[in-house]
Every structure is written in C-alpha cells, then in structure tokens.
Amino acid sequence: MSNKKRILLIACGGTIACTTDATGVAKQSLSGEQLVNNISQLADYAEIETVQFRQINSSSITLNDALELMKLINSTEHDGYVITHGTDSIEETAFTLDLIHSSSKPIVLTGAMRHASLPSADGNANILAAAITAADAKSADQGVMVVLNDTVHAARFVTKAHTSRPDAFISKPGGAIGWLSENRLVMITRLQRRQLFNPEDLRHPDLVNISNVPIITSYSGDDGKLLKLISDSKQFHGLIIDGLGGGHVSELMAEQIDIATNELIVVITSRTGEGSTLQETYGNIGSEIDLINKGVIMAGWLNATQARILLQLSLVAGLDKHAIEHKFLI
Ligand code: ASP
C-alpha cells in the first residue's frame, strides 16, 4: 500500500474551473476531476480523490455552503483537503472554515487569477502547491490555509488585494506563513489554532434569516438614513458598520446607532484596513467611547468581512450580546 497522503480535492468552481466558450468569454467548464487529471505531477506527492461540491462564482457561495463544506470534510477520512474555489470570496470561506475546523488535518483553499485558456493560467501550479501543502506533515494543526502563487497564507490574515494579478493575495498584518520552493513546503511560523465554534452548534432552523448580516461603510458627513432604513425594517439581527479611523462615525450616524442597538447587534470595524478599533481614547459623539456607551461591539483588528462572519456564526449559535462580545476578543 502506498504511503502517500490521501487528499480529497473538493471543487467549488471559480476562475480555476473556467475556460473560454465559443463566444470568447470565460465560464466554468472544468470539473474537479478534469483539473486533477491535467496535472500529472500531483501523483508524485499525494493520492488525490475529487468531489464536485459546487460549480459557481465564489460571489454566490453562502454561509450555508461553507457549513456544508465542513460537514463534508468531517464525514470523510482523508489526511488533508484541497478546496478549489473562486478567488473573489476565497478569504470568506477560508475564515469561516477556520473558525469551525476541529481536527488537526490541513484544509487548503486555492484558486486561479487567470483562467485555463490564458497563456498565464495559474490554476495547475496553484493546485499542485495546495496539494503539496495539504500533504505535508508541517501543515498539521495549522487550521485553514490559502495557497496561491507559491505562497501560504493563514485564513485569518489573507485578503485579495488586487483585481487581476497572479500575486493578488496578501496577508495582513503579519505576512504569509510560508511558501513553496522547488515543490517543497517551507513554513516560517506556527499559528495557534483558533476554533471558536462547534459545527454542531450551528444548526439553526432559520439559518438564512438569522445570518443575514449587512455591512455598511460609513463616511464623513454620513446622515445615518441608510442605517435608519435598516433598523426600521426590523429584518436584521446584526449589522457591521465599517467606520472611520479607530472605529468612528458622524454625529447623525451615532444618533441612529443609539436607536439601532435596541433592535440588533451592531459591530464597528475600521475601514482603514489595519490596526485595532479604539476603546478609550476619544470622547466626542460618534467616537468609540460614545459608541460603546450606546451599545456597539468594537471589532478589534478584524476587517468588516471577517467581523461579519464572526457575527453570523455567533447569531446562528444563538449567543447573546455579552457572549458575542467575548468572541470578538480574539
Ligand atoms: N469570479 C471568480 C470567482 O468565482 C474570480 C476568480 O475565481 O478569480 O471568484
């Protein structure tokens, strides 16, 4: 019997599955099995099986899809997992899985910035790098990773930072955790695992509604009318406000936040993209001390998309505001 690791490749669609059709536009056409069959070198590193999970653009992947992915992973006995996924939302699925991944097995997401009909197609190289990463013992206990362009990113730090270049992915604030060199995995740091939820606690009967958490970006002079519409609609249980600077909003917005916190959980992030939201510096209306007194949760260093996922999972798990606040202290 072979001593190669058994890796399950779970195909979700995205550019990595695209080729151009007769009209010259890129569309999903390659199955997971075809992707694997196109890369003869894979057999040198792992035994790969495939399952076709979805064949869609990643902008349509939902929280429920991510939970189903985890269910699929937990129902199989493979040594590691490669998920091929659209790059537009790969960081969201990776972050979600990282918060609920309970075993030490590696889960590695990958995609392509250039589809398979282009001369610069990067899909095959990315799948090979992801499979090598998933099959390497050094990847155990590192949670969920994203591998593209021979670079290994931790799910909690990775973000897409360019629309089209093959090096579109970066990790903030600390940088990537490893890379591939001559098809060998180099890991330069070890991360502490960070499972915050048990998948069994995420089976809410009204999952789609309860997890419907919008993000609104605030700006100078925000009159708060959009927030008023949202809270008056009484359709939402949670909301992310991507605030200015250390997590600040205008005075009119602060007035609306005061009302909104009676209806829903409001979390404030910073649209700056790096650093932590403040807690105890500024005393003006709309600054962090005022907003905390009005009942918001400050998101710390999570960006708006990450904060949204953490709030979604918290709401699905049925947590109260105090328990949710505690989850944000990560
Ligand atoms: N639109 C694609 C997606 O599904 C883009 C990509 O995969 O790079 O995210």
What's the structural domain count of the chain? 2
Decide: 305 in ligand 1 pocket, CB within 6 A: no
- Cβ neighbours for 309, distance < 8 A, ≥ 6 positions apart: 63, 92, 95, 96, 99
Measured CA to CA, the distance from residue 243 to residue 217 in angstroms comes to 6
pLDDT at position 311 is: 98
Measured CA to CA, the distance from residue 34 to residue 27 in angstroms comes to 15
Decide: 14 in ligand 1 pocket, CB within 6 A: yes
Measured CA to CA, the distance from residue 67 to residue 161 in angstroms comes to 26
pLDDT at position 192 is: 86
Measured CA to CA, the distance from residue 74 to residue 77 in angstroms comes to 8
CA of 29 to the centre of ligand 1 (A): 13
Could you state, in chain order, the average pLDDT of each consecutive group of 10 residues for the chain (330 residues)?
A: 91 98 97 98 98 98 98 97 98 98 97 98 98 98 97 98 98 95 97 90 94 98 98 97 98 98 97 97 98 98 98 98 93
Cβ(158)–Cβ(97) below 8 Å: no
The answer on 303 and 182 residing in a single domain is no
Measured CA to CA, the distance from residue 99 to residue 15 in angstroms comes to 25
Distance of CA 234 to the CA centre of its chain: 27
- Looking up residue 225, the CATH number of its domain turns out to be 3.40.50.40
Which phi and psi (to 5°) does residue 233 adopt?
Answer: -70, -20
The answer on 183 and 223 residing in a single domain is no
Residue 271 lies in a domain: yes
The answer on 165 and 18 residing in a single domain is yes
Instruction: Determine the structural domain holding residue 83 and report its residue range.
Output: 5-187
Please tell me the pTM assigned to this model: 0.97
DSSP string, 32-44: HHHHHHT-GGGGG
Residue 213 lies in a domain: yes
Residue 194 lies in a domain: no
The answer on 105 and 53 residing in a single domain is yes
- Cβ neighbours for 118, distance < 8 A, ≥ 6 positions apart: none
Q: Is the dihedral of CA 43, 46, 48, 53 positive or negative?
A: negative
Atom 7 in ligand 1: residue holding the nearest Cα: 86
Reading phi first (left if > 0) and then psi (alpha if -120 to 50, else beta), residue 24 is in left
Residues forming a β-bridge with 80: 7
Q: Is the dihedral of CA 98, 99, 101, 104 positive or negative?
A: positive
Residue 199 lies in a domain: no
CA of 229 to the centre of ligand 1 (A): 32
The answer on 312 and 257 residing in a single domain is yes
Residue 120 lies in a domain: yes
How many other C-beta atoms are found inside a 10 Å radius of the C-beta of residue 194? 14
Taking the C-alpha atoms of 236, 158, 55 and 113 in order, what is their torsion angle to the nearest 10 degrees? 130
Q: Which amino acid is at 302?
A: L
Atom 3 in ligand 1: residue holding the nearest Cα: 86
DSSP string, 210-276: HT---EEE--TT--SHHHHHHHHHT--SEEEEEEBTTTB--HHHHHHHHHHTTTSEEEEEETTSSSP
pLDDT at position 194 is: 82
The answer on 151 and 69 residing in a single domain is yes
Residue 39 lies in a domain: yes
Measured CA to CA, the distance from residue 141 to residue 227 in angstroms comes to 41
Supply 252's token pair.
């009119």
CA of 205 to the centre of ligand 1 (A): 30
The answer on 180 and 211 residing in a single domain is no
CA of 241 to the centre of ligand 1 (A): 26
Helical packing angle, 225-233 and 251-260, nearest 10°: 10
User: To test ligand 1's pocket by mutation, which of 29, 88, 118 has the most ligand atoms within 8 angstroms of CB?
Assistant: 88
146-188: pLDDT as tens digits: 999 999 999 999 999 999 999 999 999 889 999 999 999 999 9
CA of 287 to the centre of ligand 1 (A): 37
